[in-house]
């Protein structure tokens, strides 16, 4: 698995679009599947903000979704889905209920209100714009849901670092494709090969404080001084049902756990969707394992592709003499 340099999703029928407000430092990312995709979700964080995730329970009726939205704005950002619904309805896509076609749009949000302006949130217009921008080629880094993303907040925002939106895609000779897209807004540090590559800075801001070690000395629960959430999706052309999509999402959280420490805290809303377009027969365990590895790579990609923004340093900033 090499590093992805120019994100292009190779799965037929899937488009990804971004929209953002660079003054307010927030944004939205939409994954559009106009013909529908079987979907599942797994939520591990203690403070999620989501929309339409109950529909993805295997016992419930609706089998396919038409879009998944990842956005900033905390719960305010859930309005972005309304714009995506408007776009899809105009295009004639949705669940046919006789008198209309209702687009099924799921969403997860992250908390970025301490970055930029807390009064600027992803809204209906931003969701609509992200949908218009959706294509097989798309940008990552300080864009879309990654615009206001930050990491390493155990010492507060003065010592946090900039993160963003990342993507990684796996392909093999059978035609199987597994992509992972993620907006990394973690409380913890990002780890690669056992070492911290981005996270809470030390007092001199030239190295890392090590959030995992600092957390061992915490005596009280954290307050809402800075909150987080890493949200993402696995997208594959494998044949999966709703139960299998949920299993893939569950295992993909292992990618979160390998790349972020600490993870899944009480004030994170860590969420992973899985979307299946149903073209290639493949073992669910193989898909799940690839999804986990791809999500880990996507998290690293989010770090490498993001630049410094506002008062937050980026990986590029700390490594400017090395690259």
Place of tokens 């009064």: 119
Mean pLDDT, residues 255-269 taken together: 92
Instruction: Summarize the chain as % helix, strand, coil (round to 5).
Output: 25, 30, 45
Give strand pairing partners of 311: none
Asked, as a colleague might, if the bond just before 45 is cis with ω within 30 of 0, I would say no
3-state SS assignment for residue 143: coil
- Predicted confidence band at 240 (pLDDT cuts at 50, 70, 90)? very high
Give strand pairing partners of 64: 38
The span from the CA of 42 to the CA of 56, in Å, is 10
pLDDT tens, position by position, 144-170? 999 999 999 999 999 999 999 999 999
Which has more confidence, 126 or 320? 126
- Predicted confidence band at 110 (pLDDT cuts at 50, 70, 90)? very high
Predicted local confidence at residue 223, as pLDDT: 55
**Residue 224: is its pLDDT beyond 80?**
no
Predicted local confidence at residue 323, as pLDDT: 40
The span from the CA of 109 to the CA of 305, in Å, is 21
Mean pLDDT, residues 230-242 taken together: 97
Handedness of CA 1, 171, 251, 168 (dihedral sign): positive
- Predicted confidence band at 1 (pLDDT cuts at 50, 70, 90)? very low
**If we measure between CA atoms, which residue out of 110, 92, 91, 113 comes closest to residue 101?**
92
Domain ranges, ordered by start, for the chain: 15-318
| Model pTM score | 0.93
pLDDT tens, position by position, 60-106? 988 899 999 999 999 999 999 999 999 999 999 999 899 999 999 99
- Predicted confidence band at 2 (pLDDT cuts at 50, 70, 90)? very low
Handedness of CA 93, 72, 318, 193 (dihedral sign): negative
Q: Decide if 185 contacts 112 (C-beta within 8 A).
A: yes
Burial classification of residue 47, based on how many CB atoms lie within 10 Å of its CB (0-12 exposed, 13-18 middle, 19 or more buried): middle
**Residue 133: is its pLDDT beyond 50?**
yes
State what percent of residues in the chain have pLDDT above 70. Answer: 94
The span from the CA of 236 to the CA of 31, in Å, is 12
Predicted local confidence at residue 186, as pLDDT: 94
- The domain 15-318: what is its CATH number? 3.60.70.12
State what percent of residues in the chain have pLDDT above 90. Answer: 82
Predicted local confidence at residue 3, as pLDDT: 42
Predicted local confidence at residue 225, as pLDDT: 56
Q: Of the ranges 4-8, 182-186, 309-313, which one carries the lowest mean pLDDT score?
A: 4-8
Angle at 16 between CA 283 and CA 98, to 5 degrees: 85
Residue 214, both tokens: 């600092």
Mean pLDDT, residues 256-264 taken together: 95
For residue 165, the Cα-to-chain-centroid distance in whole angstroms is 7
Alpha-carbon separation of residue 161 from 67, 122, 189 (angstroms) = 30, 22, 9
- Largest distance between two CA atoms of the chain: 63
HEC secondary structure over 34-87 = EEEEEEEEEECCCCCCEECCHHHCCCCCCCEEEEEEEECCHHHHHHHHHHHHHH
Q: Decide if 288 contacts 251 (C-beta within 8 A).
A: yes
- Predicted confidence band at 317 (pLDDT cuts at 50, 70, 90)? confident
The span from the CA of 185 to the CA of 109, in Å, is 10
What is the average pLDDT value for the chain, to the nearest integer?
92
Mean pLDDT, residues 124-140 taken together: 96
If one counts every other C-beta atom within 10 angstroms of the C-beta of residue 129, the result is: 22
């Amino acid at each position: 698995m090499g590093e992805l340099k120019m994100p292009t999703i190779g799965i037929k029928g899937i488009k990804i679009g971004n929209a953002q407000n660079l003054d307010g430092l927030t944004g939205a990312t939409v994954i559009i599947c106009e013909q529908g995709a079987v979907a599942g979700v797994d939520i591990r964080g203690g403070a999620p903000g989501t929309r339409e995730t109950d529909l993805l329970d295997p016992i419930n009726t609706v089998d396919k979704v038409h879009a998944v939205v990842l956005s900033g704005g905390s719960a305010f950002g859930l309005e972005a889905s309304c714009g995506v619904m408007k776009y899809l309805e105009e295009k004639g896509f949705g669940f046919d209920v006789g008198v209309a076609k209702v687009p099924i749009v799921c969403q997860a949000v992250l908390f970025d209100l301490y970055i930029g302006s807390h009064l600027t949130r992803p809204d209906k217009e931003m969701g609509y714009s992200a949908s218009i921008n959706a294509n097989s080629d798309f940008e990552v880094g300080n864009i879309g849901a990654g615009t206001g993303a930050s990491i390493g907040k155990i010492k507060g925002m003065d010592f946090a670092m900039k993160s963003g939106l990342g993507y990684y895609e796996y392909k093999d000779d059978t035609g199987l494709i597994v992509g992972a897209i993620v907006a990394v807004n973690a409380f913890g540090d990002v780890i690669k090969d056992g070492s911290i590559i981005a996270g809470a800075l030390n007092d001199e801001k030239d190295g890392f404080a090590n959030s995992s070690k600092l957390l061992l000395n915490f005596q009280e629960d954290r307050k809402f001084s800075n909150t987080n959430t890493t949200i993402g999706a696995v997208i594959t052309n494998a044949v999966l049902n709703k139960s299998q999509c949920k299993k893939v999402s569950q295992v993909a959280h292992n990618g979160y756990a390998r790349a972020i420490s600490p993870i899944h805290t009480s004030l994170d809303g860590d969420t992973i969707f899985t979307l299946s377009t149903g073209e290639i027969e493949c073992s669910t365990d193989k898909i799940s394992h690839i999804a986990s590895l791809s999500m880990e790579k996507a998290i690293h990609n989010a770090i490498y592709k993001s630049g410094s923004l506002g008062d937050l340093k980026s990986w590029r900033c700390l490594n400017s003499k090395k690259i």
